[in-house]
Structure formats: C-alpha cells, structure tokens
Amino acid sequence: MSFDFQGRLPAAFMTAGSSSFTEFLGRYSPDLLPGRRQLPEGTVPATPHGTTIVALTFPGGVVMAGDRRATMGNYIANREIEKVFPADEYSCVGIAGSAGLAVEMVRLFQVELEHYEKIEGTLLSLDGKANRLSMMIRGNLGLAMQGLAVVPLFAGYDLDRGEGRIFSYDVTGGRYEEHGHHSVGSGSLFARGALKKLYRPTHDVQDAVRVAVEALYDAADDDSATGGPDVTRRIWPVVAAVTDEGYHRWEDERIGQVVEQVLADRQGDPGGALRRGLGAEGNRGDNAERRPKGTECTEGTEAQR
C-alpha cells in the first residue's frame, strides 16, 4: 500500500465510522504505524535514547520539563534534542526511551488528536487522550521487547475538572494517573526525590517551573545520561505549562533566568539544602527540624521572585 496514489480515493478513505487516524492507518497503510514494523533477526544497534522528563501540577494547570540530552551508549548523541511536545492545545507529552520511535509516536499522537477534532468537531476528553496514547504504546510492545521501548509521560489540563493532571505509562500500555508530580527516564529516580522534597500543592506556575528545573538539575547531577544546563552554549531545558489558556512553552530567555538563579543558589551548596534552610542538622534528617523549614522554604522562593 502506498500513501501516494493516482486515481480515485481508495475505499479505506470512504469507509464511514472511525474518527481515529491510527485505526485508518492500520487499515490502509499499516507499515506507517511505528509499532507494526517487523524487525529482522539479531540485536538492534545502539540508537539515541531520551532521558529525563519531569511533570508537576499546580493549581490551575501542569508544568512539564525535559532535559536536552540524547545518549547512545556512553556517547552523547544529541545535546539539544527536544523531548517535550504539545499533543494538542490542552495537553503535552514528554518522551523517554528510544528517541526515534518516540518522536514518531508523538507525531502520530498529535495527528490523531487533531484528526479526531476535525472529524468530530469537538475535543477529546483528557482521559480519552490518555487512553489513545496508551493504545499506541501497547502497539509498540513488540519493539519494546527488542529493546526499543518508548515510555512517555502525558499531562494536560482537564477542561471538565478544571485542573492539571499527569499520566504515566508502562511498556505494555498500562496507564496510571499520578497525583502531584512524576518523572520518567534514566534520571527519574533522582528527579523524583527532588520533586518529593520541593513540591508544594499550592505553588504557582513560577515556583512549579523552578521546582522542575531543580529536579532536572538533581537528575543531571547523578545520572550521566541526563544533561545539565549547558551554560557555555546556553542550552536550557524545555519547559512547558498547560493551563486553561492552553499549551505554552516558556521562552529560552525566561528559562535561562530560572536556571541561572538555581545555579547561583547552588554555588557552594550543591544540594540546595542550605538555601532552603536545611542546616547541617537538617541534612542528617532530623525530624524535629522539619516544620519550620517548610515555611522558610516558601518564603525563600517568594523572595527570589
């Protein structure tokens, strides 16, 4: 089957019923679906892999951020790859895993959502979008078993509920709603630790972006596959916020200011604990010190703005 034909539109185009682009592709030109390809025998050579994505909610929306590194074994395959994409006007998707397949899957997902919008004349619900993505990942299971897994993180603004929501996935297409914050990719363990400590359910978008950048910094600090802020080239993480005003990617200049603030605050204090009022006692995990610290932290972040 070819996507370029002469003559009348083939029957698959004229079949009524489906408003899904993926289903249409599956019928008409299945080889264009990322997951349907047959792999030859043997091992897959090294390909670029995307690394860390973080997402966290704030009242009125959700922030997603990704570092800019793709690795291929011990090499840096790309230092300015973008791994956070708008899926449609009210949602975004961040990718970790096999970069080539993941970017293709995101493209397909974007077309899928817009296609539905045009055919049906209405937006898909956020749960509907999350389920469509789930189905696409499931279609990729064969390739995942050969080492080409794609593990996206999906987040969006739920127009019905009026809040930001985050969904994570496993390679079998399992879909899990995450509350507050989540992270995927090789540096996700470290990022998740940082998110857990820094996340406040009440912070505004500015604070949420700051927390996302800090979490990525912590991931890059301990995971060689995650890229830290590249000060010499001025390559900053991709940060996007989704609110009831839609998807908005933060301009490099604004991210640069946040990153520089984080770097300045971590001079001589690589973990960022002193600035947060976590003194030497705090680092020992002294429970008695916990409560006043939280308040100081909020004041601290507000003072920076």
Partner 1 sequence: MSMPFYVSPEQLMKDRADYARKGISRGRSVVVVEYDGGIVFVAENPSRALHKISEIYDRIAFAAVGKYNEFENLRVAGVRYADLRGYSYDRVDVTARALSNAYAQTLGTVFTTEPKPLEVEIVVAEVGVASENDQIYRLTYDGSVAEERGYVVMGGTVEQPHQVLSEGWRPGMSLAEALTLAVRALSVDAGGGQPRELSPDVLEVAVLDRKRPRRAFRRLAAPLLNRLLATDDPTKDVPPADDSRPGMHETLTGEEGGTTAGTEAGGGSGSEPGEGHEGLPEEEPH
Catalytic positions are 51
Give the x/- contact pattern for partner 1 in 30-69, rule: CB under 8 A. Answer: --x-------------------------------------
One of 37, 72, 100, 114 touching partner 1 (CB under 8 A): 114
Token pair listed for 7: 């003559």
Token pair listed for 258: 């946040």
Give 28 or 252: the residue with its C-beta nearer to partner 1.
28
Give 106 or 259: the residue with its C-beta nearer to partner 1.
106
Give 35 or 187: the residue with its C-beta nearer to partner 1.
35
| DSSP character at residue 195 | H
From edge to edge, which strands make up the β-sheet containing 61-66? 181-184, 53-58, 61-66, 238-243, 246-249
Type and span of the H or E element at 189: helix 188-198
Distance CA 39, CA 103 (A): 19
Give 246 or 282: the residue with its C-beta nearer to partner 1.
246
Give the Cβ contact number of residue 258 at 10 Å: 21
Residues 242-281, interacting with partner 1 (CB under 8 A): 244-246
As measured in angstroms, the least distance from the Cβ of 25 to partner 1 is 7
Residue 29 interacts with partner 1 (CB under 8 A): yes or no: yes
Give 12 or 297: the residue with its C-beta nearer to partner 1.
12
Residue 9 interacts with partner 1 (CB under 8 A): yes or no: yes
Beta bridge partners of 75: 72
Residue 119 interacts with partner 1 (CB under 8 A): yes or no: yes
As measured in angstroms, the least distance from the Cβ of 246 to partner 1 is 8
Give the Cβ contact number of residue 42 at 10 Å: 7
Residue 107 interacts with partner 1 (CB under 8 A): yes or no: yes
Token pair listed for 129: 């979008």
Alpha helices in 70-125 (DSSP H): 99-120
The single residue listed with the structure tokens 């370029």 is: 4
Distance CA 240, CA 83 (A): 11
Residues 172-211, interacting with partner 1 (CB under 8 A): none
As measured in angstroms, the least distance from the Cβ of 168 to partner 1 is 25
Comparing CA positions, the residue from 34, 106, 95, 43 lying closest to residue 70 is 95
One of 123, 171, 189, 205 touching partner 1 (CB under 8 A): 123
As measured in angstroms, the least distance from the Cβ of 198 to partner 1 is 28
Q: Which amino acid is at 174?
A: G
Token pair listed for 198: 């820094």
Interface residues toward partner 1, by CB under 8 A: 3-4, 6-9, 12-14, 16, 21, 24-25, 28-29, 32, 89-90, 107-108, 111, 114-115, 117-119, 121-123, 157, 159, 244-246
